[in-house]
Each structure stands twice: as C-alpha cells, then as structure tokens.
Amino acid sequence: MSFSDLKKQSSLGSLTQKLVKEVEKMSSNTNADERLWKPEVDKVGNGYAVIRFLPAPDGEDIPWAKMYSHAFQGPGGWYIENSLTTTGGKDPVSEHNRELWNSGNESDKDVVRKQKRKLSYYANIYVVKDPTNPQNEGGVFLYKFGKKIFDKIMESMQPEFEDETPINPFDFWQGANFKLKIVKKDGYWNYDKSEFDTVGPVLDDDDALEALWKKQYSLAAVTAPDQFKSYEDLDKRLKYVLGQKTSNRRMDEEVADEDNERTFSAPDFTARKAAPAAPVASASEDEDDALSYFQKLAEE
C-alpha cells in the first residue's frame, strides 16, 4: 500500500473500521481453542448431541488424556492452574492441602475440600449431530469431559451384568455413537441420561475413516511440559492468591496483570470478590463442570 493510499484510507475512515473489527474479533476469541468442542444447552439447561469417541491418534497408545487442575478463590484472587501431579510431579497446592488436612482441624479440612484437585479427560471425537451448531457435524474435535462420562465409557467396556456385551467405544468399526443428554440439576450439568447407541462403524468407507484418523489431535500434547507452569511460579501464584503477598514488587505487578487479564470482561468483578466463596461440587457431581463453573466466575 502506497503512502497516498494510506492517506486516502485515513480520510475515508476505513482504517478505523478495520481496527475496530480486529478488536471485536480478538475479544470474541479470548482463550478460545478451536480444537475443543463443547455441547450447548437451552435456556432451561437441556442439551443434546451425538458424538463418537475416536481411537488413539497415530503414534499414541491411549485414546484419552487425563489432566488434574485446581480452581478456587482466595483473598488475592483466583487460582486456576493445571496441577503438576498430572505428570507425577510435586504441586504446591497439593502440598499445602496435605498440611491443612493433617492439622486435624475441621475448618482446615473444609478449606482443602474447596481447593481439591479437579479431574478432566480429553479425547478425540467425531461430531455426528450437533443441533445447536450443525456446522460442527462431520468434524473432528477434542472433547473435555469429567468423571461421569468417563465412568460411562468404562461401563461400556466392563459391563456390570452378564447379559451385556462389552464394547470398545473408541473403535472405528465395533464402537458405538454416544448420545449426550444434558439436564441442569442443582446448578450443574448432569449426564445421567447419556448412553451409548448400538454398535456400528463411524462411516462405511475405510478411506474416509483413515482421513478422520489423520485429522485427530495429539493427546500427548494435552499434558506436555508446556501445559504446566514451574513449581516456583505456581508457588508464587498460590501465595499471592492466599494473601501471602511477596515483597518482590516486580512479581506482584506481574500477578496483578494476570488478574486484570482474567477479569477484563467484567468491571464489577472486584465487588464479586467480597462475596462468599463459590459453592463446591459434591463428589457425585461432574468435576469438569465444577471447574467450568469456577472458570466462568473468574472470567465474569
């Protein structure tokens, strides 16, 4: 673009319009990961979709990845981080929780329950039906889910009763579609009505299946080292969130900047911090959606 063209666009105001569109695009895609698929629910909290769990990607052995994380609020803000215990390492929150639990005080144990690890799984899926977003149908995505859905997967492979035939839900040919049925219960998404359909191939064309297989995302990358902060950085963040602010001014400014990024979309989040702590999901509720609930609060 020549200098004269630049001046012409300035007089027309077109550059301003382009910049505004770019800012809107950036705002709408904040923290969005296009690899991830998530079902949506209607106004009353009901949702439905049909997905197919896919085999392990090429070069990998397990068709799912497991991630532990923490999400809780303290005097200094929110702590939302992946846990180093995912890969067998030491994690400052787990160590802190262990000390509190061993104190013998019930009040400390209540704190530990609010700060406990959240378990999530990731798997490649093929979207068979997505009524809310039909453009996703026929696509390959990563799907993040919790213990309840994982339990249904395990039940399909190891059925409880003799008259039930075990299946491998991750198999292209001998697996089964998963009918995801969501209802809102006690403020959380409930998956109890979800079920596997009859056994059958994902597609009837092996060439098309191979093409799907090649589109799958690495699950090893989900828990790769770059997905975790160092123990030292996590420890600094934990101390800041717990109100044990360091005298290192530079570190405080960096953490404050991180808090501002987390709460950018909600000017009134400061008032929310003074409110009572968010409710903690019980053991029977899906851990993934409990984490999503806390993440949503942090971003509001």
pLDDT confidence of residue 1: 60
Query: Exposure pattern of 166-193 as b/e (b: 16+ CB <10 Å)?
Result: ebbbbbbeebbbbbbbbbeeeebbbbee
Q: What is the pLDDT of residues 42-58, one digit of tens each?
A: 999 999 999 999 999 99
Task: Please indicate, yes or no, if residue 270 is contained in any of the structural domains.
Answer: yes
Contact status, residue 219 vs residue 60, Cβ threshold 8 Å: yes
pLDDT number for residue 25: 58
DSSP class per residue in 23-54 = HHHHHHTTT--TTEE-----TTS-EEEEEEE-
What does the mean pLDDT of the chain come to?
83
Half-sphere exposure of 247 (CA within 13 A, CB side): 0
Q: Is residue 216 part of a domain?
A: yes
Structure tokens at 40: 């949506």
CATH number of the domain encompassing residue 292: 3.90.198.10
DSSP result, 74-102: ETTEEEEEE-GGGGT---HHHHHHHHHHH
The count of domains in the chain is 1
Considering the domain boundaries, does residue 188 fall inside one? yes
In a domain, 6, yes or no: no
d(CA 193, CA 155): 14
- Gap between the Cα atoms of 259 and 80, Å rounded: 11
**How confident is the model over 182-226, as pLDDT tens digits?**
999 888 899 999 999 999 999 999 999 999 999 999 999 999 999
Domain that holds residue 120: 36-299
Please report where in the chains the tokens 């001014």 appear, as a residue. 249
8 Å CB contact between 152 and 196: yes
- Residue 233: burial class (beta carbons within 10 Å; 0-12, 13-18, 19+): middle
Position 217 in a domain:
yes
pLDDT tens for residues 255-276? 455 444 443 333 333 333 333 3
d(CA 142, CA 125): 6
pLDDT of residue 150: 97
Alpha carbon 22 to its chain's center: 26
Q: Is residue 184 part of a domain?
A: yes
In a domain, 29, yes or no: no
Distance from CA of residue 231 to its chain's centroid?
21
Q: Kindly report, residue by residue over 141-156, the tens digit of the pLDDT.
A: 999 999 999 999 999 9
Query: For the chain, what percent of residues have pLDDT higher than 70?
Result: 72
Q: Looking at the domain assignment, is residue 154 inside a domain?
A: yes
More confident of the two residues 162 and 82: 82
β-strand partners of 5: none
